[in-house]
Chains A and B, each alone.
Chain A
């Protein structure tokens, strides 16, 4: 079963604009992670936020986590054409189950 659901499914913006993607999940989590995938390639880890954290930054990325609403958002500021990719959230369940469940992803297109 899919744990994370992302919104929107697709997003198209101009270079320099900010991009926001949202992720909702259903059960208790240990952590939530965001990944990026370029077409036809494997996924690359971007950022991990633990259930006791509310916000995390990494360069132009900002992730928030609201465990009461079971939701997270990824903000990419000052987007570049090279940010064009699919972005996925993934949730690790509470306890050490070892399972990481991915959402459907958001496809981001950044136009130069």
Chain B
């Protein structure tokens, strides 16, 4: 089945450690996105990539980094510079421009 896989589902880290969240898609989509969701809130855009080897900052990119070396993969690193990293992270992809997003099932990150 085609889709987006985020792993792991739950992730626990100590404060001060960098952590990388995985996102893989087999939909052959060019564009991929990372969103952050806090409890009871909407989604905020962290980074997005419209093509391999290129990405743009979203509204809350500080403390995060991404890479897009392959079309299928768009990993997100939450660095120690992110002041409040505990959140639910959602990865998504888009096929044609201005078409619907396809979402993974998210990674819940807890930093203590």
Q: Residues of A at under 8 Å CB distance from B?
A: 1-2, 4, 30-31, 33, 35, 40-45, 48, 88, 90, 92, 96, 98-105, 107
Which residues from chain A contact B85 at a C-beta distance below 8 Å? Answer: none
Interface centre among B33, B41, B43, B44 (most CB of A within 10 A): B43
B100–A45 touching, CB < 8 Å: yes
How far, in angstroms, from A33 to B41 measured CA to CA in the complex?
17
Assess A41 versus B105: contact at CB under 8 Å? Given A98-B94, A101-B45. yes
- Given the complex, which residues of A lie within 8 Å of B43, measured CB to CB? 43, 88, 90, 102
Give chain B's interface residues, CB within 8 Å of chain A.
4, 6, 31, 33, 35, 40-45, 48, 50, 56, 58-59, 88, 90, 92, 94, 97-106, 108
Q: Are A42 and B90 in contact (CB under 8 A)?
A: yes
* Interface of chain A, main secondary structure: strand
Interchain CA distance A45-B94 in the complex, whole Å: 11
What separation, in Å, do the CA atoms of A17 and B45 have in the docked complex?
34
Complex contacts, A35 vs chain B, CB 8 Å: 101
From the candidates A48, A88, A98, name the one contacting B42 in the complex (CB within 8 A).
A88
Q: List 22 A-B contacts (CB under 8 A).
A: A2-B42, A2-B44, A4-B42, A33-B101, A35-B101, A40-B88, A40-B106, A41-B105, A41-B106, A42-B106, A43-B90, A43-B101, A44-B103, A48-B100, A90-B43, A98-B94, A98-B97, A99-B45, A100-B45, A100-B94, A103-B42, A107-B40
